[in-house]
Amino acid sequence: MKSFDGCWTCRLRKKRCDESRPACSNCSSLQITCHFGDEKPAWMDGGAEQRAKADEIKHELRHAAARRRGILPIEVLAPLRAEPILESHCDRTSTPTAPSTTLAPSDYDLMSAEKPEQCSAISSSDGQSRESGLDRRFMMFYFDHFFPFLFPFYKPSLLEGGRSWIMELILGDRAMWHTTLCLSTYFVSITLDGAISGPNVCKDLAWGRLLEQMRVTFVMLQNDIREVASSGTQDVIVKTSRIMGSIIQLQRFETTVGNFDNCQKHLSAAIALYRQVLQATSNIIGRDGRPAFRDILSHMGQRLWATTFEQGGAWNSDQAAFRFYSALLIVDDIIASTCTGTPPRLQEYHTELLTNDHRSDERPPLNLEDFVGCESWVLLRIGEISALDAWKWSTQKAGKLDMMELVARASTIKQALLADLARLDASTHTPETNLLGLYAVYNDHLPPMPGGCAKFVTRVWAQAALLYLSLSVSGWQPGSVGIRENVVRTLTLLEQMPAAALLRTMVWPFCIAGCLAEPGEECRFRALADALMPHRLFAAARKALEIMEHVWRCRNELTVDSDFAACMRRSGYTESSMPILI
């Protein structure tokens, strides 16, 4: 016999209920939990518990609406609050705030939200094996499709061990496993959204998995932080480097889905962990001062096959991961510094990590071109300009600015940029020798062009660096000859991209040139961003366009004392909330 008032969810929401079972049409259409039964729930007390349950259902409604629209709510991207997790990186003696939801290690991959039961791709009578099988499939999607999309230039050779370390690391580290599943489920949800129109149970499943994995990721990071605090010195190096990688991966996920709120927090935590790895290595080798990069790698185990670190060989998974995430961290730090108006926090390591100290027979520890497609010398110069810009404003504020010294420093940077640009142009048509070139034919996801995409990307970054230098020295003078020339050159290069998606590797050059565009050029910058489809996969480029459009609206209010960091602040960002345009 049907009850007169319907399900308890509808009663709480004061909605008319059709009393269908096992879920009424209201709850089914909204994709929320339908509470029904003859007995009145304890939370229907007319007091505090009922108000709490009402808030819980409102929260569930927001998440369900987000799944239906294909949008990830901001609050979902910081479950359990990010601050306690990240701050604990910097202070090992403190205990991270316990999450509101506890999770035993043996249970972590059995957690699930309420999920549809009829998706043909996962039909199984065994819930645990269904979950495991789905996770493995999502993980292979990541290896096969999404990682190459996120990092199109990262193609280590077979002789270095290739990219097999990614699978080894993810399978051996719980936090990395869940951050990777976050990325993969997000991409799968977008793919299904584009391929399947209308409500679909499999799309709902992908979003349910995404929300679940975000929650578990933060719990895993908290657990890992607790474990590393009690580890022996030898273990600290590997465990801390893995946490650093998980945080950088988490940041990449959040910026991919369009949440930039935690960029600076994640960056600060990762930098603190990088320094802790250095300190742990120093403790082991007993050396005064900073250990060399190869000292860190040598204490992460043996290479898979090797002669010496200088002569090469295949990195083991922890070594390869540390190199990869260190490169991303260096780049993020440099780009963040241009937005905040402060020197790069890792600048003291740049020469050691990114140069060969003028020894042509030796490769630097990190060659950024191999990781992000832009040669190291450009990003080194951008870091120097950022530091020069910070010096200029601090000395000017103190009334001690020496313009001759400013110009002299800027001239040195400019001459280095121009010399490297000339060398780049000369090498464009020089064929590269690659013993494994046969395999590259089958594994290159980048469009063909003279000299290769990396040289093109490097040229765009270098042109934008010259623009940034002029802006830092001369201030906001968009009509000046030097700034005009570099805006036009950068825009012209961007419009010559062999594929629109390549813009996602040049977001910072796109943004700084766009901020200085004339009104007649605005539509050309918009067209570059609008060509990136679907927009949800290119959140950083959309964020850059949002910043540019804000600058265009208030361009008449900007004075000669403004610089790129001032533009960012005028867009409403503080130093702690500044997005990283990478």
Mean pLDDT of 561-582: 82
Domain that holds residue 55: 8-69
378 within a domain of the structure (yes/no)? no
Token pair 């185990």 is at which residue?
301
Mean pLDDT of 257-263: 82
Q: Which of 77, 320, 79, 75 is nearest to 222 (CA)?
A: 79
- Under DSSP, is residue 162 helix (H, G, I), strand (E, B) or coil? coil
383 within a domain of the structure (yes/no)? no
Which of 319, 345, 372 lies at the terminal end of a domain, its last residue? Answer: 372
The alpha carbon dihedral of 542, 546, 551, 552 has a sign of positive
pLDDT band at 64 (very low <50, low <70, confident <90, very high): low
| pLDDT higher than 60, residue 443 | no
pLDDT digits over 69-87, tens only?
Answer: 443 343 333 332 333 333 4
381 within a domain of the structure (yes/no)? no
- Under DSSP, is residue 330 helix (H, G, I), strand (E, B) or coil? helix
pLDDT band at 104 (very low <50, low <70, confident <90, very high): very low
Number of domains in the chain: 3
Indicate the helix (H) or strand (E) that contains 306.
strand 305-306
* Shared-domain flag, residues 567 and 530: yes
251 within a domain of the structure (yes/no)? yes
Query: Which pLDDT score is estimated for 431?
Result: 56
* Shared-domain flag, residues 356 and 438: no
Q: Which of 534, 422, 548, 378 is nearest to 478 (CA)?
A: 548
Query: Which pLDDT score is estimated for 369?
Result: 94
Which of 328, 344, 372 lies at the terminal end of a domain, its last residue? Answer: 372
| pLDDT higher than 60, residue 68 | no
Instruction: Calculate the average pLDDT of the chain.
Output: 78
pLDDT band at 108 (very low <50, low <70, confident <90, very high): very low
pLDDT digits over 281-329, tens only?
Answer: 888 776 667 788 888 998 888 777 765 544 567 888 999 999 999 999 9
The alpha carbon dihedral of 564, 570, 572, 576 has a sign of positive
Tokens at 366, concatenated: 């990190």
* Shared-domain flag, residues 179 and 257: yes
CA atoms within 13 A on the CB side of 417: 27
* Shared-domain flag, residues 360 and 424: no
276 within a domain of the structure (yes/no)? yes
Percent of the chain with pLDDT over 70: 75
Query: Which pLDDT score is estimated for 314?
Result: 83
The most confident of 45-59, 172-186, 404-418, 550-564, by mean pLDDT: 404-418
* Shared-domain flag, residues 94 and 62: no
Query: Which pLDDT score is estimated for 567?
Result: 85
Residue type for position 280: A
* Shared-domain flag, residues 452 and 321: no
Torsion of CA 504, 506, 507, 513, to 10 degrees: -140
* Shared-domain flag, residues 201 and 109: yes
Query: Which pLDDT score is estimated for 519?
Result: 94
**Which domain CATH number covers 28?**
4.10.240
End-to-end CA distance of the chain: give it in Å, rounded. 60
Tokens at 491, concatenated: 């825009």
* Shared-domain flag, residues 222 and 189: yes
Beta bridge partners of 305: 314
Q: Is 505:152 a contact under the CB 8 Å cutoff? A: yes
Torsion of CA 217, 219, 220, 226, to 10 degrees: 150
pLDDT digits over 193-244, tens only?
Answer: 666 555 554 555 555 566 666 667 767 777 777 777 666 655 788 888 998 9
pLDDT digits over 539-555, tens only?
Answer: 999 999 999 999 999 88
* Shared-domain flag, residues 178 and 32: no
382 within a domain of the structure (yes/no)? no
384 within a domain of the structure (yes/no)? no
* Shared-domain flag, residues 256 and 399: no
| pLDDT higher than 90, residue 33 | no
Q: Which of 255, 183, 258, 322 is nearest to 582 (CA)?
A: 255
What lies within 8 Å, CB to CB, of 388 at 6+ separation is 406, 409, 410, 413, 472, 473
Mean pLDDT of 136-141: 85
* Shared-domain flag, residues 92 and 167: yes
379 within a domain of the structure (yes/no)? no
Indicate the helix (H) or strand (E) that contains 314.
strand 313-314
Token pair 């280095």 is at which residue?
416
* Shared-domain flag, residues 62 and 78: no
